[in-house]
Amino acid sequence: MDFSELEAAEGLRWPWNAWPSSRSDAAAIVVPLSVIYTPLMPLPDLPLLPYEPLSCSRCCATLNPYARVDYRSALWICPFCHDKNPFPRSHAGIADHNVPAELFPTHSTVEYLLPNKNPNPFTSPSSVLNSSFSSNTLFTSSTSSLIPLPVSAPPPMAVSAPTPAFVFVVDVCSPEEELRALKNEILHVVANLPENSLVGLVSFGSMVWVHDLGYTECSRVVLFSGDRELSSVKVQKLLGISHQRNPKQATSQPLQKQGFLLPVSECEFNFTTAVEELHNSSTALPGHRPLRATGVAISTSTALLEGCSPNFGGRIMVFTSGPATTGPGMVAETDHRKAIRTQRDIINGNAFLYRKAQNFYQKLAQKLLERSLVFDLFACSLDQVGAAEMRFPIETSGGLLILAESFESEQFKKCLRHIFKHEEADRLDMKFDATIELVTTKEVKICGALGPCLSLRNQNSLASEKEVGQGGTSSWKTSTLTSKTSIGFIFQVGGNLANEPGPVFFVQFKTRYRHGDGSIRLRATTASRRWVDRLRPLDVRTGFDQEAAATIMARVGVSRAEDYHARDVIRWLDKMLIRFTAKFGEYAPEHPSSFRLLPGFSLYPQFMYHLRRSQFIDILNYSPDETAFFRVALNREGVNGSLVMIQPALLRYGFDGPPSPALLDTSSVTPDVILLFDSYFHVVIHYGSKIAQWRKLGFDKDQRNENLWKLLEAAEMDAEELIEGRIPAPRLIRCDQHSSQARFMLARLNPSATQKTRHVDGSEVVFTDDVSLQDFLEHLQSLAVQG
Amino acid sequence: MQNLQIGRPPPPSAAPSGPPPYLSGSVAPSVTVGSRPGPPPQTLPSRPQYQPPFTRPPPGIPNGPPSAGIPGPRFPSAASSMEPSPPAIPPQGSLPFPGSPPHGPPVNNISQPSVYPSQYSAAAAGVPMVPPSLVSGPPHSQPLMGGPLSQPYMSPPQMQQYTGPSQMQQQYTGPPQMQQQYTGPPQMQQQYTGPPQMQQQYTGPAHMQQYTGPPQMQQYPGPLQPPPISSGAPPFGSPPVWQQPRPGPGGFPMSSMVQAPPQMFGASPSSLTQRMPPVPPVMGNSPLAMAQPSTPSHVDPRQIPRPIPGSSVEFFETRQGNQANNPPSATSDFVVKDTGNCSPRLMRCTMNQVPCTGDLLSTSSMPLALMVQPLALPNPSEEPIQVVDFGESGPLRCSRCKGYINPFMKFVDQGRHFICNLCGFNNETPRDYFSNLGPDGRRRDADERPELCRGAVEFVATKEYMVRDPMPAVFFFLVDVSMNAIVTGATAAACSAISQCITDLPEGPRTMVGIATFDSAIHFYNLKRALQQPLMLVVPDIQDVYTPLHTDLIVPVAECRKHLEQLLESIPSMFESNKVVDSAFGSAIKAAFLAMKPTGGKLLVFQSVLPSIGTGSLSSRETEGRTNVSSGEKEAYKLLQPVDMTLKTMAIEFAEHQVCVDVFIITQAFVDIASVSVVPRTTGGQVYYYYPFSSLSDAAKLYNDLRWNISRPQGFEAVMRVRCSQGVQVQEYLGNFCKRIPTDIDLPGIDCDKSILVTFKHDDKFQEGTECAFQCALLYTTIYGQRRIRVSNLSLPCTSMLGNLFRAADIDTLFACLLRQAATGIQSSPLSQVREQIMNFCVNIFHSYRKFCASVSSTGQLILPESIKLLPLYTLALSKSIGLRNDALLDERSYWASHVPPLPIPLVVPWVYPRMISIHDLTLKGNNDSKLSSTLPLSAEHLSDNGIYLLENGEDCLFFIGNSVSTEILQQIFGVNSVDGIPTQFVLQQYDNTLSNALNDVVNEIRRQRSSFLRMRLCRKGDPSGMLFFSYMVEDKAPGGLSYVEFLVHIHRQIQTKME
Q: Work out the pLDDT band at B159, boundaries 50, 70, 90.
A: very low
pTM above 0.90?
no
CB of B570 within 8 Å of a chain A CB? The answer is: yes
C-alpha to C-alpha distance for A170 and B143, rounded to whole angstroms: 94
Which candidate in B523, B542, B549 is best for mutational testing of the A interface (most A CBs within 10 A)?
A: B549
What values do phi and psi take at A353, rounded to 5?
Answer: -60, -35
Check pLDDT > 80 for residue B109.
no
What values do phi and psi take at B145, rounded to 5?
Answer: -95, -155
Q: Which of residues 521-540 of A touch B (CB under 8 A)?
A: none
State the pLDDT at residue A628. Answer: 93
Q: Which candidate from B538, B567, B574 shows the least CB-CB separation from A221?
A: B538
CB of B538 within 8 Å of a chain A CB? The answer is: yes
C-alpha to C-alpha distance for A510 and A109, rounded to whole angstroms: 9
Residues of A in contact with B539 (CB under 8 A): 222-223
For chain B, give the number of residues.
1060
Share of chain B above pLDDT 90, in %: 38
Residues of B in contact with A212 (CB under 8 A): 538
C-alpha to C-alpha distance for B941 and B225, rounded to whole angstroms: 8
- pLDDT, average across residues B624-647: 68
Given an 8 Å threshold on Cβ–Cβ distance, is B531 in contact with A277? Answer: yes
State the pLDDT at residue B531. Answer: 60
Given an 8 Å threshold on Cβ–Cβ distance, is B534 in contact with A230? Answer: no
C-alpha to C-alpha distance for B822 and B824, rounded to whole angstroms: 5
Check pLDDT > 50 for residue B98.
no
Query: Nearest-CA distance from A221 to chain B in Å?
Result: 5
Answer for the pair B1048, B36: CB distance below 8 angstroms, yes or no. yes
Q: Work out the pLDDT band at B928, boundaries 50, 70, 90.
A: low
Q: Which candidate, B122, B87, B117, places its Cα nearest to that of B104? A: B87
Given an 8 Å threshold on Cβ–Cβ distance, is A222 in contact with B540? Answer: yes
CB of A214 within 8 Å of a chain B CB? The answer is: no
Position A23: which residue type?
R
Residue of B nearest to A274 (CA): B535
Given an 8 Å threshold on Cβ–Cβ distance, is A223 in contact with B531? Answer: no
Q: Which candidate, A237, A232, A260, places its Cα nearest to that of B541? A: A237
Given an 8 Å threshold on Cβ–Cβ distance, is A224 in contact with B550? Answer: no
- Of the candidate ranges B263-272, B679-688, B942-951, the one whose mean pLDDT is the lowest: B263-272
Residue of B nearest to A284 (CA): B549
Handedness of CA A141, A147, A152, A158 (dihedral sign): negative
C-alpha to C-alpha distance for B455 and B345, rounded to whole angstroms: 12
Burial class, B891, CB count within 10 angstroms (exposed 0-12 / middle 13-18 / buried 19+): buried
Residues of A in contact with B549 (CB under 8 A): 206-207, 283
Q: Work out the pLDDT band at B568, boundaries 50, 70, 90.
A: very high
Check pLDDT > 80 for residue B890.
yes
Query: Nearest-CA distance from B784 to chain A in Å?
Result: 28
Q: Which of residues 275-334 of A touch B (CB under 8 A)?
A: 277, 281, 283
- B314-336 in b/e form (b: 16+ CB < 10 A) is bebebbeeebbbbbbbbbbbbbb
Query: Nearest-CA distance from A227 to chain B in Å?
Result: 10
Answer for the pair B430, B398: CB distance below 8 angstroms, yes or no. no
All residues at 6 or more sequence positions from B731 whose CB lies less than 8 Å from its CB, including other chains: B759, B760, B761
Residue of A nearest to B574 (CA): A217
Check pLDDT > 60 for residue B477.
yes
C-alpha to C-alpha distance for B883 and B436, rounded to whole angstroms: 57
Residues of A in contact with B523 (CB under 8 A): 220
Residues of B in contact with A207 (CB under 8 A): 546, 548-549
Enumerate the H helices of B544-660 as residue ranges. Answer: 557-574, 585-596, 621-631, 646-656
C-alpha to C-alpha distance for B108 and B96, rounded to whole angstroms: 12
Please state, rounded to an integer, the average pLDDT across all residues of chain B. Answer: 73
Q: Which candidate from A215, A238, A277 shows the least CB-CB separation from B540?
A: A238
Q: Which candidate, A290, A320, A294, places its Cα nearest to that of A380? A: A320
Q: Work out the pLDDT band at B858, boundaries 50, 70, 90.
A: low
Q: Work out the pLDDT band at B620, boundaries 50, 70, 90.
A: confident
Q: Which candidate from A220, A228, A283 shows the least CB-CB separation from B536?
A: A220
C-alpha to C-alpha distance for A303 and A308, rounded to whole angstroms: 8
Burial class, A359, CB count within 10 angstroms (exposed 0-12 / middle 13-18 / buried 19+): middle
C-alpha to C-alpha distance for B516 and B592, rounded to whole angstroms: 8
Answer for the pair B833, B926: CB distance below 8 angstroms, yes or no. no
C-alpha to C-alpha distance for A550 and A604, rounded to whole angstroms: 7
- Of the candidate ranges A169-173, A262-266, B175-179, B571-575, the one whose mean pLDDT is the lowest: B175-179
Residues of A in contact with B595 (CB under 8 A): none
Pairing between β-strand A660-661 and β-strand B863-864 as defined by DSSP bridges: unpaired
Count CB neighbours of B60 within 10 A.
12
CB of B546 within 8 Å of a chain A CB? The answer is: yes
C-alpha to C-alpha distance for A488 and A493, rounded to whole angstroms: 16
Parts of chain A with a pLDDT under 70? 1, 116-162, 242-257, 309-311, 495-501, 534-538, 759-763, 787
Answer for the pair B88, B12: CB distance below 8 angstroms, yes or no. no
Residue of A nearest to B542 (CA): A238
- pLDDT, average across residues B673-698: 91
Q: Work out the pLDDT band at B832, boundaries 50, 70, 90.
A: confident
Answer for the pair A144, A250: CB distance below 8 angstroms, yes or no. no
- B285-310 in b/e form (b: 16+ CB < 10 A) is bbbbbbbbbbbbbbbbbbbbbbbbbb
Query: Nearest-CA distance from A290 to chain B in Å?
Result: 13
Helix or strand or coil: residue B267? helix
Residue A661 has, within 13 A of its CA and on its CB side, a CA count of 6
DSSP state of A352: H
Given an 8 Å threshold on Cβ–Cβ distance, is B570 in contact with A206? Answer: no
Which candidate in B533, B542, B573 is best for mutational testing of the A interface (most A CBs within 10 A)?
A: B533
- B247 vs B667, which has greater pLDDT? B667
Answer for the pair B458, B387: CB distance below 8 angstroms, yes or no. yes
State the pLDDT at residue B624. Answer: 59
C-alpha to C-alpha distance for A32 and A484, rounded to whole angstroms: 23
CB of A204 within 8 Å of a chain B CB? The answer is: no
Q: Work out the pLDDT band at B166, boundaries 50, 70, 90.
A: very low
Position B980: which residue type?
D
Percent of chain A that is helix, strand, coil (3-state, to 5): 35, 25, 40
CB of A239 within 8 Å of a chain B CB? The answer is: yes
Answer for the pair B637, B830: CB distance below 8 angstroms, yes or no. yes
Q: Which candidate, A62, A67, A40, places its Cα nearest to that of A435? A: A40
Query: Nearest-CA distance from A511 to chain B in Å?
Result: 41
State the pLDDT at residue A127. Answer: 34
Given an 8 Å threshold on Cβ–Cβ distance, is B550 in contact with A281? Answer: yes
CB of A461 within 8 Å of a chain B CB? The answer is: no
For chain A, give the number of residues.
787
Residue of B nearest to A238 (CA): B540
CB of A207 within 8 Å of a chain B CB? The answer is: yes
CB of B548 within 8 Å of a chain A CB? The answer is: yes
- Summarize pLDDT for B184-229 with one digit per residue, the tens: 333 333 333 333 333 333 333 333 333 333 333 333 333 333 333 3
C-alpha to C-alpha distance for B869 and B26, rounded to whole angstroms: 21
Percent of chain B that is helix, strand, coil (3-state, to 5): 45, 15, 40
- B44 vs A321, which has greater pLDDT? A321
Can you spell out the DSSP letters for B279-331?
--TGGGGSSS---TTT-TTSPPGGGS-------S-EEEESEETTEEPPPPPTT
State the pLDDT at residue B855. Answer: 63
Burial class, B234, CB count within 10 angstroms (exposed 0-12 / middle 13-18 / buried 19+): exposed
Q: How many CB pairs under 8 A join A and B?
A: 61
Answer for the pair A726, A399: CB distance below 8 angstroms, yes or no. no
C-alpha to C-alpha distance for B934 and B928, rounded to whole angstroms: 10
Query: Nearest-CA distance from B513 to chain A in Å?
Result: 20
Residues of B in contact with A218 (CB under 8 A): 533-536, 567, 570, 574
Query: Nearest-CA distance from A160 to chain B in Å?
Result: 29
Given an 8 Å threshold on Cβ–Cβ distance, is B521 in contact with A222? Answer: yes
Given an 8 Å threshold on Cβ–Cβ distance, is B541 in contact with A238? Answer: yes
Given an 8 Å threshold on Cβ–Cβ distance, is A218 in contact with B537? Answer: no
Dihedral, CA of residue B161, residue B165, residue B166 and residue B172, to nearest 10: 170
Enter the ipTM.
0.84
Q: Which candidate from B535, B549, B573 shows the least CB-CB separation from A207?
A: B549
Can you spell out the DSSP letters for A51-90?
SPPPB-TTT-PBP-TTSEEETTTTEEE-TTT--EEE--GG
State the pLDDT at residue B37. Answer: 32
State the pLDDT at residue A311. Answer: 65
Query: Nearest-CA distance from A163 to chain B in Å?
Result: 28
Helix or strand or coil: residue B127? strand
State the pLDDT at residue B207. Answer: 36
All residues at 6 or more sequence positions from B895 whose CB lies less than 8 Å from its CB, including other chains: B665, B673, B677, B687, B689, B691
What values do phi and psi take at B431, rounded to 5?
Answer: -60, -45
Q: Which candidate from B548, B551, B567 shows the least CB-CB separation from A223?
A: B548
Residues of B in contact with A206 (CB under 8 A): 549
Answer for the pair B810, B828: CB distance below 8 angstroms, yes or no. no
E-only strand ranges, A267-400: 314-320, 373-380
All residues at 6 or more sequence positions from A479 whose CB lies less than 8 Å from its CB, including other chains: A313, A368, A369, A372, A373, A374, A397, A398, A399, A432, A433, A434
All residues at 6 or more sequence positions from B606 whose CB lies less than 8 Å from its CB, including other chains: B477, B478, B479, B480, B485, B490, B491, B494, B664, B666
